[in-house]
Chains A and B, each alone.
Chain A
Amino acid sequence: MEEGVVNEILQGPLRDVFDSKQLITDISGSGNNWAVGHKVFGSLYQEQILEKLRKSAEHCDCLQCFFVIHSMGGGTGSGLGTFLLKVLEDEFPEVYRFVTSVYPSGEDDVITSPYNSMLAMKELNEHADCVLPIDNQSLFDIISKIDLMVNSGKLGTAIKPKSLVTSSAGAFKKRQEKPFDAMNNIVANLLLNLTSSARFEGSLNMDLNEISMNLVPFPQLHYLVSSLTPLYTLADVNIPSRRLDQMFSDAFSKDHQLIQADPKHSLYLACALMVRGNVQISDLRRNIERLKPSLRFVSWNQEGWKTSLCSVPPVGHSHSLLALANNTCVKPTFIELRERFTRLYKKRAHLHHYLQIEGMEESCFTEAMSSLSALIQEYNQLDATKSMPAEDLPRLRVAV
């Protein structure tokens, strides 16, 4: 809802990739106000948005999925972004809605971000098929780790300048001034790897609808923690098995997750491994067998693994792994969000900016809060089963 970013893209190296008619901008922005994004701009631009969506959809032989990419803490991404979700659900009910949401970190400079995030969460709960939460702190930690490895010349490797892990050519030096490019690049890689099996051939393909099918056991529990490995390029093409196995181990460590989460010490509902490159089914199985004992899966899904093998590795690497986990380790992120929200809301700080928008009432806030609390409660219940032994329901008995 303001022109600066979009204009920059239109003048940048990718300007020809985007269709200039498929853009909607405004002048003033949403002022970091969810209500402005959702209610004001939502109703203002609804027709235009619908029209452009329909036009894009017409070009598709078979439309499978929408990717919504936004942040939770601001006004436009958060407010108008979640408004869009509802529009997509009404207009294209059979098309999956995958949302990549950047959650506000601890040191976040937008004061009203807890309000915006809370209001957006309710929409995500109700209208998204699948959410991939990301937070800036984790991305920054990952970038710092890459920097450390490059600077210390660890393992005698060097990051190839053209590797997709670093940002576009030339930005290698700029990383200190503009870390966001490198951080966003990681999220871009996430989306690339997610769709690789749908775009390229492999011995065990996985489409986007399979992600939703396998990783969402109950409609409300659709938050997936993601991790990408390896984070650095290896110059050696003939990777000995030890390095390959290391890639699998890394995927489960908390340092490689794209949000602040520790899946190894929480409960897994389901886990997907998307492998790219010269990796065969025996390597995959060996690693699953190796890692399984250290992970805790919910009692009714003890072998809850979904796997895929894509033959084409990402540019500059010989293989890579994307792990998506439906795991109770997202709970702390939500609990923290609720706490930050409560602190602001109790004081009624900045509330008037929201309430003065038509259509906004205090009930919006309280409903959003109960929606999030209900979600946290679901995760709590699952965690409670962690220590209980699995009780099997008696099987059907038949007369012979």
Chain B
Amino acid sequence: MSIVTVQLGQCGNQIGFEVFDALFSDSHCPQGLCSKRENEAYQASCKERFFSEEENGVPIARAVLVDMEPKVINQTLSKAAHSGRWKYGQHSCFCQKQGSGNNWAYGYSVHGPRHEESIMNLIQKEVEKCDSLNGFLIIMSMAGGTGSGLGAFVTQNLQDRYSNSLKMNQIIWPYGTGEVIVQNYNSILTLSHLYRSSDALLIHENDAVHKICAKLMNIKQISFRDINQVLAHQLGSVFQPTYSGEGSFHYRRNPLGDLMENLVPHPEFKMLGVRNIPQMSENSLAYSTFTWAGLLKHLRQMLISNAKMEEGAFKDPALYTSWLEPVHAFSVWKTQRAFSKYEKSAALVSNSQFLVKPLDMIVGKAWNMFASKAYIHQYTKFGIEEEDFLDSFTLLEQVIASYCNLGF
């Protein structure tokens, strides 16, 4: 089954490119460490999910690119075409000239309705190319105007038009010390709207990824490209094919559905995070060896610091909330085939309390700003009123409270 990716805004498009590049590089990586037949099955499965075939044999990414200003899309399209290995569809992008001005209201209330038909038509065309549609992966940031506002609008539309398909939103959580001054407003408006229309929110924090680049990969002058590549690596490790069951040798056909089934047991809890190990610079790769025990220990340690290490530690009921049995809460997906030149690697996707603190901080800062009414006129200008803000605050306080109460 295939996944259609919608890339929105500068962030979404920059990351989307790195994701497809990582997926392609991995599936064509010569060091698969498995049999030829295995490798071919892996490649075929990856291709079906993310690429469609073109006449000259150059795969085309199953993606729709949307941005309200042309520079990033042009860059992304040409980078892909120049690589010669894969590319984006020539007519898969929608572009305007004036941008969204970092204004959620402009992205949602102006661009959304104005360009609804064009964008949804593009998506429909991409969907028609799939033999069977698994669902949508929407890549966007929360801090800007297009990714956040138009992204929320598009997700809502997808829910209306493709109610049987799944939607996972890949959201970029901005740096705590701003990139955009009104990022907290844009974030709460995005999160509250997505909570109603998306099936799962897979969240990546810029601060966390930045730390990975600095500490684990030893990059001295970290650029957005470095950050996006780490992100793409993490996403790749989640979305590349894995076997559909214990002891089976068929690749799973419903990745999004399986993810949701395991990770989103209740609609109140939709926020997911990814941790992936090992993560190191390419130079160190050649000199490292790994054991599974070591990796899993490390992962669990990352999940809850300070806990005691044991084998099979993920089956510990203390990790999970009382209304879920460990056997339902924890599942393992495997594949023989190595990922992206790492001899062994493991990724952990979790729905846990780890995002409560960052969410609380964003809500707090947005609330303070809202209390002083700063910048509100920029939103009311385009139809987002104070009540809309209050609704968002209420929904998110509810989410925070629910997550906090999981311990009881």
Contact = CB atoms under 8 A, between A and B. Distances in A.
Interface stretch (A18-26, A159-167, A209-217): A209-217
B244 to A, nearest CB: 37
B72 A213 contact: no
B98 A289 contact: no
A301 B222 contact: no
A318 to B, nearest CB: 14
A210 B99 contact: yes
Given A205-B71, A205-B72, A400-B402, A282 B178 contact: no
Interface string B218-230: 0001111101000
A395 B177 contact: no
B75 A201 contact: yes
A126 B224 CA distance: 40
A301 to B, nearest CB: 7
Interface stretch (B33-41, B248-256, B367-375): B367-375
B267 to A, nearest CB: 15
B377 interface: yes
B69 interface: yes
Interface in B148-182: 175-182
Nearest to B74: A201
Most B C-beta atoms less than 10 A away, residue of A204, A214, A305: A214
Contact of A282 (B14, B72, B221): B221
A61 interface: yes
A203 B229 CA distance: 13
Contact of B224 (A203, A213, A395, A397): A203
B378 interface: yes
Given A203-B225, A204-B224, A61 B97 contact: yes
A64 B375 CA distance: 20
Range, interface on chain B: 35 or more
Nearest to A308: B179
Interface in A213-233: 213-219
Contacts of A209: 98-99, 101-103
Given A204-B10, A270-B181, A400-B405, A300 B69 contact: no
A397 B96 CA distance: 41
A237 interface: no
Contacts, number: 133
A43 to B, nearest CB: 31
Given A281-B224, A289-B177, A307-B178, A218 B98 contact: no
Contacts of A270: 181
A350 B378 CA distance: 42
B397 interface: yes
Interface string B386-406: 000000011001100110010
B221 A280 contact: yes
A62 B97 contact: yes
Nearest to A283: B221
Interface string B86-120: 00000000001111011100000000000000000
Contacts of A393: 367-368, 371
B6 interface: no
A390 B374 CA distance: 15
Contacts of B69: 205, 207
A215 B181 contact: yes
Interface in A315-360: none
B365 A303 contact: yes
A287 to B, nearest CB: 11
Interface string A367-400: 0000000000000000000000010110111101
Contact of B374 (A201, A218, A289): A218
B364 interface: yes
A205 B102 contact: no
Contacts of A217: 374-375
A203 B98 CA distance: 18
Contact of A214 (B97, B180, B223, B402): B180
Given A201-B71, A307-B179, A300 B372 contact: yes
15 contacts: A205-B72, A207-B69, A207-B99, A210-B180, A213-B145, A281-B222, A281-B227, A282-B222, A300-B371, A300-B372, A303-B365, A305-B179, A307-B178, A395-B364, A395-B367
